[in-house]
């Protein structure tokens, strides 16, 4: 995929040739489970994520009919549904539209109603993941971005 950053796109970009083969120009493609579009918008990824999550809501509804305890249901939600919602969230969440956020949060709200218990929305999950990643990078001195973090002040 070629991402064209030119402001005036009067002509299509010149073809990219690698090892004598022309790289195909596509509008979007899926890479490691995330849909990336040539305009660097995440709408297709949001649509795919919501679709996958709604399919798994069916399983959540089905197991409620089995009379499972309220302790098991959130674990099932985290394993089956939340894992789909937060897949590579640190990459795409900062760039999705408010409409995309609302669509995904609607799935979380539906799951919350099915379980009968509060579930954290997408913003909270994103912040948790981001903080976790930042903590890992700041603690790993061999990480290339380790120097971007200032050392924490001493607790003395």
pLDDT digits (tens, 9 = 90+) for 35-89: 888 778 889 999 999 999 999 999 888 888 887 777 788 888 999 999 998 888 8
> How far is it, in rounded angstroms, from Cα 53 to Cα 81?
6
pLDDT of residue 152: 64
- CB 100, CB 43: distance < 8 Å: yes
Is residue 2's pLDDT more than 90? no
- 104: closest CA among 52, 150, 37? 52
pLDDT digits (tens, 9 = 90+) for 21-30: 888 877 888 8
Tell me 77's DSSP state. I
pLDDT-based confidence at residue 107 (cuts at 50, 70, 90): very high
Strand partners, 30: 35
pLDDT of residue 37: 83
pLDDT-based confidence at residue 110 (cuts at 50, 70, 90): very high
| Residue 9 vs residue 80, higher pLDDT | 80
pLDDT of residue 61: 87
> How far is it, in rounded angstroms, from Cα 103 to Cα 58?
17
Phi then psi dihedrals of residue 35, to 5 deg? -85, 125
Q: What is the mean pLDDT of residues 110-134?
A: 90
Q: What is the mean pLDDT of residues 103-129?
A: 91
């Amino acid at each position: 995929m070629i991402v064209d950053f030119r402001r005036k796109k009067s002509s299509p970009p010149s073809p990219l040739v690698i090892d004598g083969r022309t790289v195909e120009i596509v509008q979007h493609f899926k890479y490691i489970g995330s849909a990336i579009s040539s305009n660097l918008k995440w709408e297709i990824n949001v649509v795919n994520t919501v679709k996958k999550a709604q399919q798994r809501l069916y399983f959540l509804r089905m197991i409620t009919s089995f009379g499972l305890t309220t302790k098991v249901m959130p674990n099932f939600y985290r394993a089956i549904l939340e894992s789909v919602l937060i897949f590579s969230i640190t990459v795409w969440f900062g760039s999705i539209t408010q409409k995309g956020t609302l669509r995904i949060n609607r799935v979380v709200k539906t799951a919350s109603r099915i379980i009968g218990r509060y579930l954290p929305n997408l913003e909270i999950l994103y912040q948790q993941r981001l903080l976790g990643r930042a903590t890992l990078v700041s603690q790993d001195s061999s990480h290339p971005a380790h120097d971007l973090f200032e050392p924490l002040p001493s607790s003395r």
